[in-house]
A and B are shown apart, each in its own frame.
Chain A
Amino acid sequence: SQKIEQNSEALNIQEGKTATLTCNYTNYSPAYLQWYRQDPGRGPVFLLLIRENEKEKRKERLKVTFDTTLKQSLFHITASQPADSATYLCALYMGRRALTFGSGTRLQVQP
């Protein structure tokens, strides 16, 4: 079965720096990979989707890369702000209709 690995250790960075989060998966390469943000006690919020034929996707200060050879996606937040502090989840499509999520990486941006 597909497994997703995200760094379980929290990432602490200084405001203004670039945060880079990693998502590694096993087995087959998915057609799509998504990134979500989740704040404590809240539901996940969709951020970005990248397709297998796309190497990079950008949205404002966010950038996602997708390397099907390495079976890895990187999620970058440039010019990070304390408001970016949250848990970030990587998700792949399992079967035709369901998402498989990683356990998430908690990001803490220090002012």
Chain B
Amino acid sequence: DAGVTQSPTHLIKTRGQQVTLRCSPKSGHDTVSWYQQALGQGPQFIFQYYEEEERQRGNFPDRFSGHQFPNYSSELNVNALLLGDSALYLCASSRRGQGALSGNTIYFGEGSWLTVV
């Protein structure tokens, strides 16, 4: 049973460019959340998708957008990249109704390392 898979694992972009990161949730999970983790910091919540809609959003600008597909996989898009966007981007999956509020396990992927130069 594959866990949460993310791609690419590492990438380097130039300031002003756009990037798309991808996530496939754990089998049986339908909810995907994205987090940004800067070096030495804890993950920060970007947004969560369920039923192909953004359900909750953290304190991130509109340059950060996402999408969820019918197979529950998800993409994170970041436009007009800034140097400060350099971070580890983590995808987490859970099962609706058995996730956060019920306290069940949330599974994280290994992340995508983004470096903006």
Q: Which residues of A contact B (CB under 8 A)?
A: 4, 6, 31-32, 41-46, 49, 51, 89, 91, 93-104
Assembly CA distance A4 to B99 (angstroms) = 21
Q: Quick check: A99 and B100 within 8 Å, CB to CB?
A: yes
Q: Quick check: B40 and A99 within 8 Å, CB to CB?
A: no
CB distance from B54 to the nearest CB of A (A): 11
Interface centre among A6, A43, A44, A49 (most CB of B within 10 A): A43
Q: Which residues of B contact A (CB under 8 A)?
A: 4, 31, 33, 35, 40-45, 48, 55-56, 58, 90, 92, 99-101, 103, 105-111, 113
CB-based nearest B residue for A50: B103
Assembly CA distance A9 to B117 (angstroms) = 29
Assembly CA distance A100 to B110 (angstroms) = 19
Q: Using Cβ atoms and an 8 Å threshold, which residues of chain B touch A103?
A: 40-42
Q: Quick check: B109 and A98 within 8 Å, CB to CB?
A: no
Q: A44-B43, A98-B58, A104-B42 are in contact. List 13 more A-B contacts (CB 8 A).
A: A41-B113, A43-B109, A44-B90, A46-B107, A97-B56, A97-B101, A98-B33, A99-B35, A99-B45, A101-B42, A101-B43, A103-B41, A103-B42
Q: Quick check: B100 and A44 within 8 Å, CB to CB?
A: no
Q: Using Cβ atoms and an 8 Å threshold, which residues of chain B touch A98?
A: 33, 45, 48, 56, 58, 100
- Describe A's contact surface by its main secondary structure: strand
Q: Using Cβ atoms and an 8 Å threshold, which residues of chain A touch B40?
A: 103
